[in-house]
Structure 1
């Protein structure tokens, strides 16, 4: 180990949402802060560089193409160019913001050599840094299925396929979760024939069954084909494509394969075991409700702690850590935690599919007496915005406690669902009743009028 130990008030490993936000706030407060990132292409974190921002940019341009495009391949290439320009801009801006705040950004790979001591291998040398507080925020990485041929050139991950050279005519997607569904929507919108291979017995398995069945029909009309209760067993190279053999004996011919079976916490290079930091069987860093690890002064935030893999969850993680590590100065250390968080989610298919709270089955299973209020978007006469947009496919469902009239859960499959679900989450969090949400006054024409239509 070379050199003497450099002391910091805070060391952050990884440029994720939680870590970078805490780093900048503490640096502005006068602390000496180091942020270690091994890949300059990841300044700003997963969301900005390979996740939410670039994929939603591609999806936005896909939607514009569907309104009047005539050449999917050219439109896809233009979308890639806009995606890349935006990512470069945001990546550079994140580095600039961190450095302007006073954060010392160290480009290198870090590993634990002491409970709060990190050895960082940089291009020039190895530096040893120690923090009074250490935050692990290294994010997650793609899970590669154990299928022979998964290393072939035409087999992609959710990161690499964003840079695919040509729009595929036929694409096989292995996996049926949100990442798979979003990419199926993206490529089908540009004209690709898509096949989803999923080992589940139904599509969109994490959503309300009735809404999922309706959404599956919408996706199938977009030239997205589902092969359920099935798995890929072999990828074989062909002269001008790739052959995918399935467990049921069938064969799919394609130009490309996307492996989208999920992501796992990125912890393999941290050498956590050397200092006794506990991990789960999947490699996630074990934390309590305040995101503390079992080692004093060491926290884990974002995807790496095994929680929901969303950047807004990571943003809330930063608030929890700030309160726990530095809140004593304000008299409320540990006041915030992960307990009872109401977390909305959106899968950006077309239209968006958003959910929050409990499903009908989960609520009944917990002993609630529920009433369900649901309907098709096309049938809601007082909600004209989807008709104006020409996007009348959709469905909304609310699960309500009969006794209290509180909203237990909601699923929205409609235009603007990614925005509306946040209002429902606020209603659940604040104890607003379904009748109160339904009695609100909403701008017209807006999709939020579905609250009036279903709950008013």
Structure 2
């Protein structure tokens, strides 16, 4: 048995963990980074999350009229797998010039408050560390729906990314971000898609007009959306499956060659031995942390999805900054309480990006507000949308009527994932709506929408 004693142990190769390992390794600190699967070097994002899904979305958008969808899908899967393999190698190789960093491949289990055991292909390795960072991410929720776990064609999003040939019929369980993104993507490859959503509206946290616009966009892409659906059973039949559900006490079925289970993700903490170490977890399995990402043990931190925070790669990156401040004794350490106007994006075609408060949230909070909203097609000063042939969608801004500060935005439009960052930056640095309206932007660009839309505040 090999024993290593180091300054920092990182469990998980995610964005926050690998960046921490590299940062402290460059400072000459001794670091061990543990990843249980060689297929996950670099973390969820580049292997089964952001990068491959957006690669598939992009390639579904590039499918030419008349091009066979099965072939286009197979080519997209092959290209995406090559992309992720390349990124996986790049991420693993970033530690080559850092002699103080050791990467171990194997399952890590806590044996005490400052030590773990790692089962590697070459035998067991025990690691003791002055500081430990947990970055094991999250896993899909597989609910106890009768027949679902036994269904051979029921898959998670990670499995669907590699599944060829393309399904002719796909039933998506869940109308959240993952479900809708895959629904839009697969429809782009010619698959017949049905989405079953339990709630009365998809994107229920969005304003009604935004959610309705997104639904219209998806339906025009060929996606069938059923809301208020209570799923009762999944039955395997032939080479596919049948999902039995009801809406308002009326029973119905949806048949598919493949069933995508997209009902959320939970922190991946099973098997880590957190109880042995005395690390507290919530009922969801999330590692409980404070605003400095410290766990119930002063030497152990948790970053990324595993701590129960927002499940975004860029949050994990920001988590690493907070932990670096703790480990290096920064005079003014950052914390999660300093995060303001964090944007997010659902990569439909076109994407839906949002930041800050919705109109509904602002009114419920008692804010005096002005709202500017318009279909993209009616914004004459945004010719970029017409140039690229993407005039679908809606753009909406919510502004504080008293301070002229932007409170939030929902942008369902071409390049929304880029221009939402301008809104976020304005909110973070208290740039007024008037200043954004009177700004000078490149032409033709989507950011020109500020000039016209903010003149429509009511």
In 2, Cα distance between the equivalents of 1:231 and 1:133? 46
Counterpart for residue 191 of structure 1: 190
> Within 5 Å, which residues of 2 pair with 1:39-50?
39-50=37-48
In 1, Cα distance between the equivalents of 2:200 and 2:74? 35
Could you tell me how far 1:352 is from its partner in structure 2?
Answer: 0.3
In 2, Cα distance between the equivalents of 1:262 and 1:335? 29
**Counterpart secondary structure, 2:345:** strand
**Counterpart secondary structure, 2:407:** strand
In 2, Cα distance between the equivalents of 1:69 and 1:30? 57
Does structure 2 conserve the Cα–Cα contact (< 8 Å) formed by 1:42 and 1:91? yes
TM-score, normalized by length of structure 2?
Answer: 0.96
Counterpart for residue 452 of structure 2: 453
**Counterpart secondary structure, 2:295:** coil
Counterpart for residue 22 of structure 2: 24
In 1, Cα distance between the equivalents of 2:404 and 2:329? 36
Counterpart for residue 148 of structure 1: 146
Could you tell me how far 1:70 is from its partner in structure 2?
Answer: 1.5
- Give the direction of change, closer, same or farther, for the CA distance of 1:230–1:427 in structure 2 (3 Å limit): same
Q: Deviations over 1:102-155 (max 9, x none)?
A: 320001111111111111111232211111111000001111121122232211
**Counterpart secondary structure, 1:404:** coil
Does structure 2 conserve the Cα–Cα contact (< 8 Å) formed by 1:406 and 1:432? yes
> Within 5 Å, which residues of 2 pair with 1:202-351?
202-247=201-246, 248-328=250-330, 331-332=331-332, 334-351=333-350
In 1, Cα distance between the equivalents of 2:39 and 2:130? 28
Q: Deviations over 1:241-266 (max 9, x none)?
A: 21111134201111111000011100
Counterpart for residue 406 of structure 1: 405
- Which 4+ stretches in 1 moved above 4 angstroms? none
In 2, Cα distance between the equivalents of 1:128 and 1:30? 21
Does structure 1 conserve the Cα–Cα contact (< 8 Å) formed by 2:321 and 2:334? no
In 2, Cα distance between the equivalents of 1:46 and 1:100? 24
Deviates more, 1:120-129 or 1:176-185: 120-129
Counterpart for residue 85 of structure 1: 82
In 1, Cα distance between the equivalents of 2:226 and 2:76? 29
Could you tell me how far 1:69 is from its partner in structure 2?
Answer: 4.8
1:104 and 2:102 equivalent?
A: yes
Counterpart for residue 55 of structure 2: 57
In 2, Cα distance between the equivalents of 1:165 and 1:320? 41
Counterpart for residue 73 of structure 2: 76
**Counterpart secondary structure, 1:101:** coil
Deviates more, 1:410-419 or 1:440-449: 440-449
In 1, Cα distance between the equivalents of 2:174 and 2:338? 30
- Give the direction of change, closer, same or farther, for the CA distance of 1:394–1:427 in structure 2 (3 Å limit): same
- Unmatched tracts of structure 2, length 5 or more: none
**Counterpart secondary structure, 1:249:** strand
In 2, Cα distance between the equivalents of 1:215 and 1:114? 49
In 1, Cα distance between the equivalents of 2:217 and 2:228? 20
Could you tell me how far 1:68 is from its partner in structure 2?
Answer: 3.3
